[in-house]
């Protein structure tokens, strides 16, 4: 495994719509391993392909005991809402409030191309949304929440 350089905001790759992964080979496995190591080293909870210079639909998310490697992920269900602080390894020194679903179900492929589906809540759901946005060239601050106070349990 190796650390990869994290692309910083201002780079055009962060604004690209990424293409789907079609080859489930050793190169993909190595990339996912490197992304995991790079994310942990940077103390993040998620990292997406374009953040390491690869405009492909791949992301890793790690929150507590949950580690996800998502290839071609799609949010197939979402419910509830949460408003909370977000930041990004590609946007150092910046954070803002973003509204996200409280619960999401994500369909994706694993590194071998096997179909997977998982339901996540809270921070894990937030991280999945944030990373999947990266695959469409969307950064968290594009979605800055500017609304008023809302009850957290709604």
Nearer to Co ion, 88 or 109 (CB): 88
H or E stretch including 39? helix 26-41
Residue 46: both structure tokens together: 């998620």
The question of whether 131 is a catalytic residue gets the answer yes
Output the smallest distance, CB 31 to Co ion, in A: 17
36 marked ligand binding residue: no
Which range touches Co ion (CB under 5 A), out of 23-31, 88-96, 106-114, 118-126?
A: 88-96
Region of residue 77 (phi > 0: left; psi between -120 and 50: alpha; otherwise: beta): beta
Residue 111: both structure tokens together: 């590194």
Nearer to Co ion, 88 or 98 (CB): 88
134 marked ligand binding residue: yes
Output the smallest distance, CB 6 to Co ion, in A: 9
Q: How far apart are CA 50 and CA 56, in angstroms?
A: 7
3-state secondary structure of 134: helix
The answer for residues whose C-beta is within 8 angstroms of residue 129's C-beta and 6 or more apart is: 75, 100, 101, 104
Which range touches Co ion (CB under 5 A), out of 9-17, 82-90, 95-103, 146-154?
A: 82-90
Binding to Co ion (CB under 5 A): which residues in 110-149? none
Output the smallest distance, CB 81 to Co ion, in A: 20
Q: Does 88 bind Co ion (CB under 5 A)?
A: yes
List the binding residues: 88, 130, 134
């Amino acid at each position: 495994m190796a650390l990869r350089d994290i692309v910083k905001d201002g780079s055009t790759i962060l604004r690209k719509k990424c293409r789907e992964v079609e080859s489930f080979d050793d190169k993909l496995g190595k990339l996912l391993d490197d992304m995991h190591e790079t994310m942990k080293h940077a103390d993040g909870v998620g990292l997406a392909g374009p953040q390491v210079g690869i405009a492909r639909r791949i992301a890793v998310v790690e929150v507590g005991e949950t580690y996800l490697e998502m290839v071609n992920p799609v949010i197939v269900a979402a419910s509830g809402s949460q408003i909370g602080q977000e930041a990004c390894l590609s946007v150092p020194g910046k954070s803002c409030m973003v509204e996200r679903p409280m619960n999401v179900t994500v369909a994706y492929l694993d590194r071998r191309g096997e179909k997977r589906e998982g339901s996540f809540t809270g921070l894990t759901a937030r991280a999945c949304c944030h990373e999947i946005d990266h695959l469409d060239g969307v950064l968290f601050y594009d979605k800055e929440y500017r609304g008023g106070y809302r009850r957290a349990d709604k």
